[in-house]
Each structure stands twice: as structure tokens, then as C-alpha cells.
């Protein structure tokens, strides 16, 4: 079967709800669903976060990051961390756990791909948050969420390599074409990701960066271009990165993008570190 046909098959399977999740991802999905309920209480959210150790650790770490804890006072418990972050932030972090757990694999190569992909994702999410706050003036939490889930289709593909040997071998042109969008779109739909996030991911898949950036899609794509770590699956398409990040600069108010990035470097580094573990 040709690789593009494999991608279409995988996307069709996802659309038929033929997708399974590891135990920790199931807990994270339950949390996400619970948080979508307008009647969800703080106690419910805290109990669900505490039920998943990886998520609990991530929530406390992010709550202590420089980007989220301006006071600098250490947060050492889940309840305080949840109150600090709020439910929308928790949805993003729950999606982060789902994304990483999708790529749980038995092979060393696939684990390496997943780790590199998560490193890229963490940088994009942190940069998107800063860009939304400082450049495009959009909701930073929505931008963070978009950054966390924009590669979820790639994580899912890594999880399917045992079913389709050779799927992610070198010279993978289909990944850089419509296959990426097809699988990514299907996984985002299966996770019930809001349409505004899916639309932003579509901009990222298409790769057309508008200047000056204005939309959530522009924010996400700019963060992707500025990220110092490239997606490992993009390396497989045989098309080297063109170094656009080195040439991107624009005036934002009385500052330039480069000045904003320098000023926000600590926030980005802190959030990346919190998301990384």
C-alpha cells in the first residue's frame, strides 16, 4: 500500500472512532470532558488531576513557571495549582498528556521521534503564548492550547508504526502534503478540539505566514517558524528548513519582534521546561 493510501486509511479509522488511548490518556480525556461541563466544580477537577500522576506533576510545574507565577511564591499542591491556572489552562495540559501518550511505542527509534516531537511542541506552545500576549493580542491560553495540540496527528502516526512498518522511514513526501492535514484533522476531531483551534492548525499545515500576523493561525505558524527545535517528521520529507526564523522581524508598536522575543526568553524557557517533563 502506498504511504498516502496508508494515511487515508488511518484517517478513516479515526473517523470511525477506531482509536484507542493508553490508561493515562483516558484519565486526561475524562478530565477534558469534565472541564467542558459548565457545572464542573473545583473539587472534581482537582480529584481528576490527582488521579493521573503525570498530569498532576505537569499542572504543578506549569503553575510554578515564570509565565504563570509572577509572584515567585512556590506552589506545592494540586489544588492551588489548579486555582492558579484555571480550567482553560487545564484543558490544554490534559491535551498535552493525551498527545504524548498517543506515541507510546516499543521501539527505541519511535520513542526518540516522540521525544523530539514533544520538544518541538513544547517550544511552539510556549512561543505561541508569548506571541499571542505580546504581538497578535489574542488569548494566550488559547494560543498555548493550539501549540500543544497542533502536532497531535504526528504523535498518532508514530503510535501506528507497528501496524504499518516503514510508515515513517526516510523520504516521506506524503507527510508534507495533504496526508498531514488529513490525519491531523481526524485526530483533532476525535478529541473534540474546538473549531478555532483546528482552523489555526490548518494554517500551520498550509504554511502560508501572513505579515503582520493577526490571527490565531498566524500566531501558531509564526511560533512554529521561531521554534529552535524542528519537528522530526518534517525532517523526513526531504525538504530542509529554509531558515525563515532568522529573517523574521516586524515592528509591533514601539518594539520589534526580536526585542519582544529577547524580553520574553525567560518566560518561554520556564514554560518549555515545565511542559517538557
Say whether pLDDT at 60 is over 50: yes
Determine the average pLDDT of the residues in 51-72.
77
* CATH architecture, domain 3-276: Orthogonal Bundle (1.10)
Residue 158 has pLDDT above 70, yes or no: yes
Site of grid cell 484517517:
11
Q: What pLDDT is attached to residue 219? A: 94
Tell which residue, 62, 30, 57, 58, has the closest CA to residue 44: 30
Spatial CB neighbours of 207, under 8 Å, sequence gap ≥ 6:
221
Q: What is the pLDDT of residues 176-224, one digit of tens each?
A: 556 678 888 888 887 777 788 899 999 988 888 888 889 999 999 999 9
Tell me the pLDDT band of 44, cut-offs 50, 70 and 90.
Answer: confident
Count other C-beta atoms under 10 Å from residue 86's C-beta: 13
User: What are the cell numbers at 70?
Assistant: 509572577
Phi first, then psi: give them for residue 256, nearest 5 degrees: -110, 160
Q: Coil, strand or helix: which one is 212?
A: coil
Report residue 117's pLDDT band, with 50, 70 and 90 as the boundaries: confident
Q: Which long-range contacts (CB under 8 A, 24 or more apart) does 237-243 make?
A: 237/172, 237/173, 237/175, 237/176, 238/170, 238/171, 238/172, 238/173, 239/176
User: What pTM does this model have?
Assistant: 0.76
User: What is each CA distance from 148 to 5, 70, 97, 162, in whole angstroms?
Assistant: 27, 22, 10, 25
Angle, helix 195-206 to helix 140-149, in steps of 10 degrees: 60
Mean residue pLDDT of the chain comes to 79
pLDDT at 201: 92
Mean pLDDT within 103-108: 67
Residue 174 has pLDDT above 50, yes or no: no
Domain residues of the chain, as ranges? 3-276
Q: State yes or no: pLDDT of 45 exceeds 60.
A: yes
Note the pLDDT tens digit of each residue in 118-145: 889 889 989 999 999 999 999 888 888 8
pLDDT at residue 53, rounded to an integer: 62
Predicted pLDDT at 200: 93
Distance of alpha carbon 18 from the chain centroid: 22
Question: Is a pLDDT exceeding 50 seen at residue 68?
Answer: yes
* Class of residue 165 by CB neighbours under 10 A (exposed 0-12, middle 13-18, buried 19+): exposed
pLDDT in tens, 230-264: 888 775 544 445 555 556 777 777 788 888 888 88
pLDDT of residue 247: 65
Amino acid at each position: 500500500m502506498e504511504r498516502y493510501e496508508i494515511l487515508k486509511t488511518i484517517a478513516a479509522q479515526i473517523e470511525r472512532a477506531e482509536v484507542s488511548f493508553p490508561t493515562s490518556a483516558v484519565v486526561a480525556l475524562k478530565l477534558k470532558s469534565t472541564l467542558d461541563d459548565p457545572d464542573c466544580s473545583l473539587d472534581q477537577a482537582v480529584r481528576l488531576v490527582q488521579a493521573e500522576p503525570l498530569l498532576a506533576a505537569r499542572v504543578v510545574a506549569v503553575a510554578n513557571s515564570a509565565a504563570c507565577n509572577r509572584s515567585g511564591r512556590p506552589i506545592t499542591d494540586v489544588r492551588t495549582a489548579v486555582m492558579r491556572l484555571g480550567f482553560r489552562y487545564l484543558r490544554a495540559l490534559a491535551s498535552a498528556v493525551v498527545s504524548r501518550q498517543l506515541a507510546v511505542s516499543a521501539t527505541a527509534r519511535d520513542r526518540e521521534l516522540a521525544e523530539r516531537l514533544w520538544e518541538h511542541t513544547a517550544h511552539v506552545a510556549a512561543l505561541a503564548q508569548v506571541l499571542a500576549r505580546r504581538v497578535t493580542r489574542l488569548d494566550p491560553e488559547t494560543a498555548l492550547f493550539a501549540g500543544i495540540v497542533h502536532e497531535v496527528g504526528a504523535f498518532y502516526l508514530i503510535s501506528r508504526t507497528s501496524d504499518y512498518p516503514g510508515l515513517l522511514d526516510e523520504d516521506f513526501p506524503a507527510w508534507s502534503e495533504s496526508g498531514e492535514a488529513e490525519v491531523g484533522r481526524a485526530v483533532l476531531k476525535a478529541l473534540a478540539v474546538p473549531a478555532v483551534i483546528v482552523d489555526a492548525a490548518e494554517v500551520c499545515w498550509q504554511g502560508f505566514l501572513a505579515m503582520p500576523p493577526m490571527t490565531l493561525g498566524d500566531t501558531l505558524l509564526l511560533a512554529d517558524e521561531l521554534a529552535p527545535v524542528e519537528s522530526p517528521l518534517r525532517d523526513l520529507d526531504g525538504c530542509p528548513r529554509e531558515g525563515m526564523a532568522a529573517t523574521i522581524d516586524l515592528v509591533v508598536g514601539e518594539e520589534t519582534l526580536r526585542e519582544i522575543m529577547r524580553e520574553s526568553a525567560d518566560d518561554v524557557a520556564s514554560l518549555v521546561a515545565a511542559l517538557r517533563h
